[in-house]
Structure 1
């Protein structure tokens, strides 16, 4: 039977020849026609390279974190554990020294095991600017943290220089010049006699000799001014120079605190009466000055008559200046002397003095002292002539009665 072909809406025959019309499925409708290129797809190889790279980066970050953690752990452990120095030592930090320099010096001295760990530890504790200059005593096996805390505390090793009462300025300068912990040169000129305080100064290594001298002279000036203002009103002394001069003579005459004010009273009584002071230490200063009498040089009778500006056996009144540096006690004794009529004193052989108001009493005291001297000399000569006797063996101990 003849049939007429049916056209679709576009005029094209959608039926297969000799068959019924079959509609297209959804997938077939979406499928590209032959000759149309497929959409681009990322290859499996490309995807695997990205994943490998990401895995590598994650692993690297983890390894860095683990490494950093281990470094912090072992660094902190090293920072707080016992140090390598078995004996300890002193360590000097000079002013304006940075943490890096301190760390390197500590490692070179064998006081720490690793300068880098010390430096990082100090910074971790935020003590970069807290370490203080000074000399420190590092204890045996001190840890890095112990050393950091010590340098932060500023508790450095201290030294002392002592100027005893009765030293001259020259002798005081010798002590300061010879102190190994002090630095710097001495002044070219000596200050006036009596102008150095008799005191003990404490300091840390690095202090200068001129600093010590400046402190001692300032302290003596303030002390003299303070005591001079508190003096009794009837002292026969014109000014501070005469005040210090007499105090220096009292200082050289006795070291006993219970006699200073009485000896000061004797000299002041003699000044009031116009009598010469006749003080033996002024003879010595007039002959030898601030350097002092050599230990092997005796005082001769002829020395008493040698005229010098300081020899109070040959001059009237006080010498032109002090003969030593007086201490506070001697200055106080002159400013507030004992009220007596004593005009004389002489050694009594016991370390003290015998006082007298008249020349007759004084001569008796002198005679007693000379007799004591002769007795001492005789006993010493006898001891030299006698042969040495061996000490007897100790008797064996016997048990005591119950």
Structure 2
């Protein structure tokens, strides 16, 4: 019978550091100091560095803060446009410094690479902006006329040249710009406002519902904007126009002919169209040319865009608007001619 003796191993203190029980409180105190002082210092250093870090935007951009818009909405749009690196950081800085209620509505020119801290300061500045209103149903030339009359740095022809490709997507609204605003500042702000205000309307689902592209919706909406006034009538007219379009019937919308032959005299929308006007071979003259015109004819408001998305199907093929702005509908050309004789013969 053998008895196995237990090996008593000892720690070689030359190879392994043995913690002195008497020093445990010291090490614990050092750990607490690290957590309580050093870690917060590192976090604060990271925070201040992030506040002053330039955003990823490489170009100057216009940005509109709407009256009464929440800080969370502003931070989300800033992030979506690449104007801040972190919406959470922007919101936290506002909250930590009680700045959420101090953001001023207006149109801002955001420098490329602007930091969160500088952006917050910019939005608090009391601005002496010039207020300007662009009406629903205006064409680019009318927008250019109004802008050039209010701002010395805006040239009418330069504005038209830069904005013409965006006919229909310059959102009609009231804006505030600094006195040194130029063509690009105003156009960019109107385009950005359009994108924000129509994002819930011009969705893939809504476009699929009416089987139209975004551009086609805007073209129809621009015609509806110029042709009729009330929201209910706009839905009916949108339905008539789309039905005629699908059946290959000319739209026959006077507003498109007005767009084609203007300017006449002092107006961009001549009411008294001549025989020559009505026979114009312009691609915008929907009395002669079937299909949609190549571009929108004006800046439609939300009501007209919504009318196309939510168009009303009716048995009507014709409509007219009398001198009082009342719309009259007809199923046949004969009925329509009777309406013309009754409401438009003076």
TM-score bracket relative to the smaller structure: 0.5 to 0.7
Corresponding residue of 1:254:
228
Corresponding residue of 1:319:
293
Question: 1: distance between equivalents of 2:279 and 2:223?
Answer: 19
Corresponding residue of 2:147:
176
Query: Which residue of 151, 162, 178 corresponds with 1:189?
Result: 162
Question: 1: distance between equivalents of 2:245 and 2:266?
Answer: 26
Question: 2: distance between equivalents of 1:302 and 1:273?
Answer: 27
For 1:260-271, list aligned pairs within 5 A.
Answer: 260-271=234-245
Corresponding residue of 2:277:
303
Question: 2: distance between equivalents of 1:308 and 1:275?
Answer: 17
Question: 1: distance between equivalents of 2:188 and 2:126?
Answer: 24
Q: Does 1:245 align with 2:219?
A: yes
Q: Does 1:231 align with 2:206?
A: yes
Deviations for 1:234-255, whole angstroms, at most 9, x for unmatched residues?
Answer: 4253x22111111111111023
Q: Which has the larger radius of gyration?
A: 1
For 1:2-401, list aligned pairs within 5 A.
Answer: 154-180=125-151, 183=153, 189-192=162-165, 193-229=167-203, 231=206, 233-237=208-212, 239-288=213-262, 293=267, 298-370=272-344, 373-374=345-346
Structure 1 residues 219 and 274, CA, compared in 2 at 3 Å: closer, same or farther?
A: same
- Give the structure, 1 or 2, with the largest relative contact order (CA under 8 Å, sep 6 or more): 2
Structure 1 residues 324 and 269, CA, compared in 2 at 3 Å: closer, same or farther?
A: same
| TM norm structure 1 | 0.49
> Deviation of residue 168 (structure 1)?
0.8
Question: 2: distance between equivalents of 1:322 and 1:364?
Answer: 31
Give the alignment's Cα RMSD to 1 decimal: 2.8
Aligned residues: 218
Unmatched runs of 5 consecutive residues or more in structure 2:
1-123
Question: 2: distance between equivalents of 1:296 and 1:334?
Answer: 25
Question: 2: distance between equivalents of 1:295 and 1:246?
Answer: 17
| TM norm structure 2 | 0.56
Question: 2: distance between equivalents of 1:177 and 1:279?
Answer: 30
Deviations for 1:272-299, whole angstroms, at most 9, x for unmatched residues?
Answer: 2221100001112122279984688842
Question: 2: distance between equivalents of 1:296 and 1:254?
Answer: 16
SS at match of 1:161: strand
Does structure 2 retain, via aligned residues, the 8 Å contact 1:168–1:324? yes
Deviations for 1:218-246, whole angstroms, at most 9, x for unmatched residues?
Answer: 22244445322152644253x22111111
SS at match of 1:258: helix
Structure 1 residues 270 and 353, CA, compared in 2 at 3 Å: closer, same or farther?
A: same
